[in-house]
Amino acid sequence: MELFVATGNPHKLIELEPALPGHTLRLPSDAGIEGFEVVEDGGTFLDNAVKKAKTLFSIVGEPTLADDSGLVVRALGGAPGVFSARYGSAGASHRLEAAERNAYLLANMAGKEDRSCAFVCCLVLVLSEERLFAVQEVCAGILLREPIGSGGFGYDPVVYLPQLAKSVAQLSVDEKNRFSHRGRACARMAAIMAEIEAEP
């Protein structure tokens, strides 16, 4: 299946392509749409993913896939949540970089004993105005007290996976595809897409 991915970030394709083998992923720019961006004002990851996928579908008229993801920390009432990419930037002179967001998050966790957290990924596939599919998966972990590892991006260095005894930033590409929230969501979406392609 050929899909347009509702993002202006080429890095998203780097993560999605190995997790969706056999499918061709395109960026909006491949359809001549430069600077594709959607205001993510939904209250949930599903709200935002649906909005992004439907917005791009309304432009290209071809199957679209959108991802909305973030980190949920129990002791912070679910924050950063849907604001993960913008966490700590409200009122700041610039949008915080990943390392700055991680430092801000860890500062907000000072003195908190419950360090349970989870990465969440919602994927939405839009095939027509009336037909869409959504999956949402998680990767549960423990928030570290300082970053570990140099791989991945975003909050990966501050989330520890006890079952693997590694931070997410220490995972190989294969491990990340198998255990991450996005990898798990992609596996479920790939199964849905296989069923769709098998339809008479």
Tracing tokens 């969440």 back to the chain, one arrives at 120
Q: Give me the active site residues, please.
A: 68
Name the phi and psi angles at 4, rounded to 5.
-95, 130
CA–CA dist 190, 182 (Å, integer):
12
Q: Are 65 and 6 in contact (CB under 8 A)?
A: yes
Nearest to 145 by CA among 92, 97, 103, 93: 103
Nearest to 143 by CA among 172, 108, 184, 106: 106
Amino acid identity of residue 146, one-letter, is: E
